[in-house]
Amino acid sequence: MSALKGVQCLVTAGPTYEAIDPVRYIGNRSSGKMGIAIAEELSHRGAQVTLILGPSSISVPESIGKIIRVESSDEMYQAAVKVWSGCQLGVFAAAVADYKPKEVANQKIKKLGDTISIELVKTSDILQFIGKSKGADQILVGFALETQNELENAKQKIAKKNLDMIVLNSLNDKGAGFQYDTNRITLIDSENKITKFELKTKREVAIDIVNSIESKYFS
């Protein structure tokens, strides 16, 4: 029997869309595949999973207990804060926008000139807020997608966001990152232990991640 059986878990997945006007938005290339695979694996081991999923066309397995669909970073923030207090494990795999338009137009913006300027403001830092509110009995796992100084940036994120573990993806690795069925990860924990994995399917990567979480924090 898995040590994760009955554990209340929160998983975030997918992108967020930040509205510019009623038909346009700022988004990213995240599909949600990785986060959904993690939620599925946790559910397979008997965990009670709540999946907060941004805009994604990926089908979600029926085995995942509860799904909250959101669109914007604000919606994901509100949902995560509401759910987190009752959880023992959080895996934050969503690719949340760092910025959003300061003003959202009520009507479609018409093409009037050769250029347009849109003022952006920071979105709420969901993971940092959750990290600050993390209790002694809660485990928090984040993700980092980097293009340079990968290990250094990931280690800084662990400290800044009060994480127990971070999953590092590098866009320099062929076949890893957004819009692939494969991924190559490095796990770093708060004690600075580094574990590198080979390129695998995202389903296999999810198993590696959950195995590491279970053996280190729940066994």
Compute how many other C-beta atoms are within 10 angstroms of the C-beta atom of residue 51.
29
- The one-letter amino acid code at 160 reads K
Tokens of 146: 């980097």
Cβ–Cβ under 8 Å, residues 138 and 87: yes
Per-residue burial over 83-110, b if 16 or more Cβ lie within 10 Å, else e, is bbeebbbbbbbbbbbeebbeeeeeeeee
Cβ–Cβ under 8 Å, residues 30 and 14: yes
Active site (annotated) includes residue 192 = no
Q: Which of 28, 106, 149, 192 is catalytic?
A: 28
Give, as one character, the DSSP assignment of residue 76. H
Query: What is the distance between the alpha carbons of residues 170 and 186, in angstroms, rounded to a whole number?
Result: 9
Tokens of 20: 């510019």
The separation between CA 183 and the C-alpha centre of its own chain, rounded to angstroms, equals 14
Active-site annotation, residues:
28
